[in-house]
């Protein structure tokens, strides 16, 4: 098989590089550096993807994928709910009541957000909520005023399962004056989402009990939705709003998980970008090693380069020869890094416990991160972009040595040979 001359020469120079042991050592270090950087990027991004998925799952267990807000004027919420249930892409719709209140236990006070929901109507949400709330949802029976409290809130108020706590809800009387409605509720259980903004303020009640506390009667605050595709929630909601308005339905505000939790996911994206930039420095250092390797090869092969020039090699072919050497080093490092990073990411659930046992401490304490295992989500897009970044850096690293090789003057070099 006839190979391009530049590629053939690049491979030949790499094979004969072992004659210069120092250049060979630096070349191996370059490959290992690129592989290490690529593997580190893949593992870290996969773990951060897993954290993002876990955070999303926990947050939507409370907020749902989307919601249509009736603004406490929802006398016709059943018609609204039934219409939503028939809309393509929406797999579940359930009413809810949300109100602000104050809990008091002894001398401790805490502002809370009470959510009223009907476990029977939330059957479609059971999978995502069961992991967070467990069997406690079954205790939210109408008329019992049983409640589930966030763990941080329960600890702050010194409450345990089975204890009773006073709740104060601000309402307006017949004269429009703001008064407090008092009621005792029973702690039927505690839950832990892993997001302090929710764990320290969230209280779950039965839908009818929450509506009674808020003085809503048969009305609700809104209807929560679950979509077949969580990422399509904003688009599905926009299409439904257009349909509802065209049908002459009352105007309702809408929201979805991307708006409700925008700050959390923005923070995760910023962290991913910063970690990518920081870990890319490992690849950048390896790229500098490629520069050093190629410069030493150019210095060592000056007579050979001069002979090639006299045999008819153009400057462009010389540049291509040494650029291909650098790219081959980069490609080997990238492939090794992708393989190592992918294997490590896929098996991190067994690797991390082994490292914890070896070093004698927990990398991810469950009481801090609310996780029993490290979540991982290896995405093809990440593999692609990590490879592109690494190959781009190695390509840039070849420019100076290749130009230096092309600048060799044959007559001057061969004069002393």
Among 228, 251, 274, give the residue marking a domain's end.
251
In a domain, 28, yes or no: yes
Helix 262-300 and helix 302-310, axial crossing angle in degrees, nearest 10: 80
Among 216, 251, 286, give the residue marking a domain's end.
251
In a domain, 241, yes or no: yes
Residues 209 and 358 in one domain: no
Look at the alpha carbons of 85, 88, 90, 91 in this order and tell me if their dihedral is positive or negative: positive
Residues 118 and 178 in one domain: yes
Q: pLDDT at position 2, please?
A: 36
Considering only 128-137, 186-195, 346-355, which range has the smallest mean pLDDT?
128-137
Average pLDDT, the chain: 79
Distances (CA, A) of 309 to 299, 302, 305, 320, 405: 15, 11, 6, 13, 11
pLDDT confidence of 256, banded at 50, 70, 90? confident
In a domain, 349, yes or no: yes
Segment 140-162 mean pLDDT: 88
In a domain, 258, yes or no: no
Residues 228 and 142 in one domain: yes
Residues 143 and 41 in one domain: no
Total count of domains within the chain: 2
Residue with tokens 């020039």: 309
Considering only 74-88, 289-303, 323-337, which range has the smallest mean pLDDT?
289-303
Which DSSP string do the residues of 280-321 spell out, in sequence order?
Answer: HHHHHHHHHHHHHHHHHHHHHTHHHHHHHHHTT--HHHHHHH
Q: Which of 196-205, 321-330, 400-409 has the highest mean predicted lDDT (pLDDT)? A: 196-205
Please, are residues 263 and 81 in contact by the beta-carbon 8 Å criterion? no
Q: pLDDT at position 85, please?
A: 87
- CA atoms of 85 and 89, how far apart (whole Å): 9
Among 194, 222, 251, give the residue marking a domain's end.
251
Tokens of 22: 């120092």
In a domain, 259, yes or no: no
Segment 106-119 mean pLDDT: 86
pLDDT at 368 over 60: no
* Pairing status of strand 66-69 against strand 222-227: antiparallel
Residues 278 and 395 in one domain: yes
Rounded to the nearest 10°, the torsion over CA 273, 275, 276, 277 is: 90
In a domain, 97, yes or no: yes
Residues 322 and 352 in one domain: yes
What tens digit of pLDDT does each residue of 225-243 get?
888 888 888 899 889 888 8
Q: b/e string for 14-52 if b means 16 or more Cβ within 10 A?
A: beebeebeebbebbebbbebbbbbbbbbbbbbbbbbbbb
Q: pLDDT at position 24, please?
A: 66
Residues 219 and 282 in one domain: no
The range of the structural domain enclosing residue 179 comes to 71-251
- CA atoms of 85 and 87, how far apart (whole Å): 6
Q: pLDDT at position 127, please?
A: 57
Please, are residues 333 and 339 in contact by the beta-carbon 8 Å criterion? no
In a domain, 62, yes or no: no
In a domain, 63, yes or no: no
* 3-state DSSP helix/strand/coil % of the chain, to nearest 5: 60, 20, 20
pLDDT at 126 over 60: no
Residues 333 and 268 in one domain: yes
Residues 221 and 90 in one domain: yes
Residues 344 and 381 in one domain: yes
Residues 81 and 211 in one domain: yes
Residues 324 and 233 in one domain: no
- Higher-pLDDT residue of 333, 252: 333
Tokens of 193: 């989402």
């Amino acid at each position: 098989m006839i190979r391009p001359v530049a590629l053939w020469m690049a491979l030949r120079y790499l094979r004969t590089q072992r004659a210069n042991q120092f250049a060979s050592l630096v070349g191996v270090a370059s490959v290992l550096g690129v592989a290490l950087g690529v593997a580190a990027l893949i593992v870290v991004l996969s773990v951060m993807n897993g954290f993002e998925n876990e955070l999303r799952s926990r947050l939507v267990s409370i907020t749902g994928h989307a919601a249509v807000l009736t603004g406490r004027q929802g006398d016709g919420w059943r018609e609204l709910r039934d219409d939503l249930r028939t809309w393509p892409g929406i797999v579940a719709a359930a009413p809810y009541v949300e109100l602000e209140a104050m809990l008091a236990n002894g001398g401790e006070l805490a502002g809370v957000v009470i959510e009223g929901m009907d476990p029977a109507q939330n059957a479609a949400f059971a999978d995502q909520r069961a992991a967070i709330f467990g069997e406690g949802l079954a205790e939210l029976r109408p008329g019992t005023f049983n409640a589930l409290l966030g763990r941080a809130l329960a600890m702050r108020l010194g409450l345990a399962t089975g204890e009773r706590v006073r709740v104060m809800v601000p309402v307006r009387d017949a004269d429009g004056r703001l008064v407090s409605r008092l009621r005792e509720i029973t702690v039927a259980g505690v839950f832990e989402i892993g997001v302090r903004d929710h764990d320290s303020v969230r209280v779950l009640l039965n839908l009818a009990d929450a509506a009674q506390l808020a003085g809503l009667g048969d009305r609700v605050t809104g209807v929560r939705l679950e979509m077949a595709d969580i990422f399509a929630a904003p688009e599905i909601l926009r299409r439904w709003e257009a349909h509802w308005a065209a049908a002459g339905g009352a105007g309702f505000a809408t929201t979805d998980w991307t708006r409700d939790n925008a700050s959390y996911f923005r923070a995760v994206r910023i962290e991913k970008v910063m970690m990518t930039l920081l870990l890319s420095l490992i690849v950048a250092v390896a790229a500098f090693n490629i520069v050093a390797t190629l410069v030493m090869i150019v210095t060592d092969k000056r007579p050979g380069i001069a002979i090639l020039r006299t045999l008819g090699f153009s400057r462009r072919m010389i540049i291509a020869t040494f650029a291909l050497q650098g790219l081959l080093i980069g490609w080997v490092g990238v492939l090794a890094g992708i393989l190592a990073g992918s294997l490590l990411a896929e098996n991190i659930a067994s690797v991390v416990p082994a490292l914890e046992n070896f070093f004698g401490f927990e990398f991810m304490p469950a009481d801090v991160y609310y996780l029993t295992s490290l979540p991982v989500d290896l995405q093809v897009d990440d593999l692609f972009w990590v490879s592109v970044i690494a190959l781009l850096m190695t390509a840039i690293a070849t420019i100076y040595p290749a130009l230096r090789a092309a600048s060799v003057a044959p007559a001057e070099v061969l004069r002393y040979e």
